Amino acid sequence: MTISRDFFAQDAVSVARGLIGAELCIDGVGGRIVETEAYDAGDPASHSFGGATKRNAAMFGPVGHAYVYRIYGLHWCLNFVCAQDQPGSAVLIRAVEPLSGIDVMRARRGAIADRLLCSGPGRLAQALGVDAALDGAPLDQSPFALTAPDTPSRIVAGPRIGITKAAATPWRFCLAGSRYLSKPV
């Protein structure tokens, strides 16, 4: 069951929660989403804070599209644009449980433990082959494949990671008990 565009019209927190347990594949490589973070419009920690710029243009585009950017000069991060009514909202995909194309991920990331293949935004992007070419790409078309979970997932919320502003806001969502998180709950 593909996730509809209406799903992404919701606010960032609802989308972040709803994505836990969904299956994400890019060009046949991917797995189950186990960790996300919400970045609301007007959030000081969000790239959209202070208005639209060239880099974050995709965040102000239509919902249900990808926003990809480079961080610290060497890592890519994958976001989903959401919240139709609040331009500048997005959800950061932080971790995925590898299910499909694991051999491809291993080839791209090197011979490391399976549980480390996608446990973090930069690792995930490298494993799935995300780069600037996917910035602004619609999530309901190739090479993306996004499938809603069959059953509701147990979700644990906590503070976001790696940011300096509004760090206490509990907008990090994890699949309870997953071994593929960037950090255990």
Partner DNA sequence: CGTAAGATATTCT
Partner DNA sequence: GAATATCTTACGT
Residue ranges binding DNA (CB under 7 A): 37, 39, 45-48, 50, 53-56, 59, 67, 70-75, 77, 79, 90, 92, 109, 112, 116, 120-124, 160-165, 182
Please state the closest distance from residue 1 (CB atom) to DNA, in A.
Answer: 26
10 neighbors 82 (Cβ within 8 angstroms): yes
The dihedral over CA atoms of 141, 63, 11, 135, expressed in degrees to the nearest 10, equals: 80
Q: Which is nearer to DNA, 45 or 150 (CB)?
A: 45
Category of 142 on φ-ψ map: left (φ > 0), alpha (ψ -120 to 50) or beta: beta
75 neighbors 121 (Cβ within 8 angstroms): yes
Question: CA 171 to CA 39: how far, in whole Å?
Answer: 8
Please state the closest distance from residue 72 (CB atom) to DNA, in A.
Answer: 4
Please state the closest distance from residue 125 (CB atom) to DNA, in A.
Answer: 8
Q: Which is nearer to DNA, 153 or 169 (CB)?
A: 169
Please state the closest distance from residue 162 (CB atom) to DNA, in A.
Answer: 2
